[in-house]
Amino acid sequence: MRTQVAVIGAGPAGLLLSQLLHLQGIDSVILERRDRDYVEHRVRAGVLEHGTVETLREAGVGNRLDSEGLRHEGTELRFARAAHRIDFAELTGRTITVYGQQEVVKDLIAARLDAGGDLRFEVTAVALHDLDTDRPRVTFDHQGEPGALEADFVIGADGFHGVSRRQVPGLRVYERAYPFSWLGILSEAPPSSQELIYARHANGFALHSMRSPTVTRMYLQVPLSEDIAAWPDERIWSELHTRLATDDGFALTEGPLLDKGITPMRSFVATPMQHGRLLLAGDAAHIVPPTGAKGMNLAIADVRLLSHALAGYYTERREDLLADYTDFALKRVWRATHFSWWMTTMLHTDPHDDAFSEQLALAQLDYVTTSRAMSTSLAENYTGLPYERGWSYR
Ligand code: APR
Ligand code: PHB
């Protein structure tokens, strides 16, 4: 079997790349380990940057996103029992859209299959070969049969636990583990606020988010190796009420829980994001803590760069865009890594920190919610930085 681009992983990165390549007449095959139902229903991120929405529209998957996505013009920071709004639209002219990652994945899978795309689920034993030649190969098992795929390029879009990153010799890794996790719930309850609420409380961080006018998504900071069994529903609701409480009577609406899980928080950046004809994208190369809502947006930004670089290769035999991929991608990755670290430290209570750190975080929250310069900085990072190659902050 032969294709132009072999894509490992059907997350947002792999699916969107395959779709963008298809629109430019470039052929690809996607190999995914899980089944379709699993990837379409796994509850993950939910905030799309301004440019992410535009990219998905350009990819031809904007219809349901435009009708069901919730456009937000700002967000709320809550601390010391008071609410403070950051007005994205006024500060940056940009907005964000709340739309679940699994909805993006469903739309992309449907678009790939409608266009006759070759997308294989439940593929196991994926192994990469000859990456430093111009005829790389992927071997795998599918439906009980061994398979082999020859390509011009292999894209490692197989997430943090995938196999591709391990194929990059001399890989350098930068890492930070945070001493806490997030307990996330999905609840069949109308959101209690129009916008997201990021709250700092002495008991820890809490986030109020949503998926639709009838479904609320919320998170609580919990100890690093917390057992979900320690959190019966009543305890979750009680803690959410406590951490989100305000002096002007904020009321949190409860509802039956549809999903409940714990995720540890980490920052991870691997470089280079390429080796020979292998290029990494998304979580395969970097992870950010979810506090800045950057994970899926970074995956999509990587893929934009890759789609452009591969189109340059196929139309004009340009190698320079591919050669520059790591440098351009990492500029955004490190900005997002800093932003996510900054939001995380400002909003969480660290069990190892002292009273001094607590005061620093509160001073920073006061600054970011009252200074126009500082709130503009939050707003421009949150709504998303420009895409142009070599963009600057001027
Ligand atoms: N072979 C084939 N597929 C694999 C393999 C493998 N060896 N290992 C992993 N996969 C698949 C996973 O099952 C998953 O569907 O690769 C896919 C990777 O998708 P994601 O983890 O969603 O990663 P990515 O597309 O980069 O999207 C990043 O995911 O974790 C969130 O916050 C993150 O929103 C961000 C997004
Ligand atoms: C979510 O809705 O899942 C969500 C929103 C904002 C974040 C993280 C997760 O920062």
Q: How much is the average pLDDT of 189-210? A: 98
SS3 content of the chain, % helix, strand, coil (to 5): 40, 30, 35
Question: Which of left, alpha, beta for 322 (phi over 0: left; psi -120 to 50: alpha)?
Answer: alpha
In this predicted structure, the answer to whether residue 51 has a pLDDT above a threshold of 90 is yes
The closest residue, in CA terms, to atom 2 on ligand 2 is: 46
- The residue type of 142 is H
- Write out the E strands in 1-160: 5-8, 28-31, 47-48, 70-72, 74-79, 82-87, 96-98, 118-120, 123-129, 137-142, 145-150, 153-156
Best of 283, 286, 287 for a ligand 1 pocket test (most atoms within 8 Å of beta carbon): 283
Contact 70, 99 (CB under 8 A): yes
What does pTM read for this prediction?
0.97
Contact 306, 236 (CB under 8 A): no
Ligand closest in space to the Cα of 31? 1
Centroid of ligand 1 to alpha carbon of 16 (angstroms): 12
In this predicted structure, the answer to whether residue 197 has a pLDDT above a threshold of 80 is yes
293 lines ligand 2 (CB under 6 A): yes
Q: How much is the average pLDDT of 89-94? A: 97
Ligand closest in space to the Cα of 75? 2
Residue 391's pLDDT is what? 73
Question: Which residues on neighbouring strands pair with residue 279, listed in sequence order?
Answer: 155, 274
Q: Which helix (H) or strand (E) holds 178?
A: strand 172-187
Q: How much is the average pLDDT of 289-313? A: 98
282 CA closest ligand 1 atom index: 26
What is the C-alpha separation between 124 and 142, in angstroms, rounded? 7
Residue ranges around ligand 1 (CB below 6 Å): 8-14, 31-34, 39, 44-45, 101, 123, 126, 157-159, 161-163, 282-284, 295-296, 299
158 CA closest ligand 1 atom index: 16
Residue 393's pLDDT is what? 77
222 lines ligand 2 (CB under 6 A): no
**351: pLDDT confidence band, cut at 50, 70 and 90?**
confident
Per-residue pLDDT reduced to its tens digit, 314-349: 999 999 999 999 999 999 999 999 999 999 999 999
Centroid of ligand 2 to alpha carbon of 37 (angstroms): 22
Residue 229's pLDDT is what? 97
By annotation, the residues acting in catalysis are 72, 198, 290, 294, 382
The closest residue, in CA terms, to atom 9 on ligand 2 is: 45
Centroid of ligand 1 to alpha carbon of 116 (angstroms): 22
What's the order of all strands across the beta sheet hosting 197-199? 82-87, 74-79, 197-199, 206-212, 215-223, 172-187, 257-271, 286-287
Q: How much is the average pLDDT of 279-291? A: 98
293 CA closest ligand 2 atom index: 10
**387: pLDDT confidence band, cut at 50, 70 and 90?**
confident
Q: Which of 69-78, 80-89, 345-354, 383-392 is predicted with the least confidence, judged by mean pLDDT?
A: 383-392
Per-residue pLDDT reduced to its tens digit, 167-192: 999 999 999 999 999 999 999 999 99
The closest residue, in CA terms, to atom 6 on ligand 2 is: 293
Ligand closest in space to the Cα of 126? 1
What is the C-alpha separation between 345 and 337, in angstroms, rounded? 12
**Residue 154, SS3?**
strand
- The distance between the two most distant Cα atoms of the chain, rounded to a whole number of Å, is 65
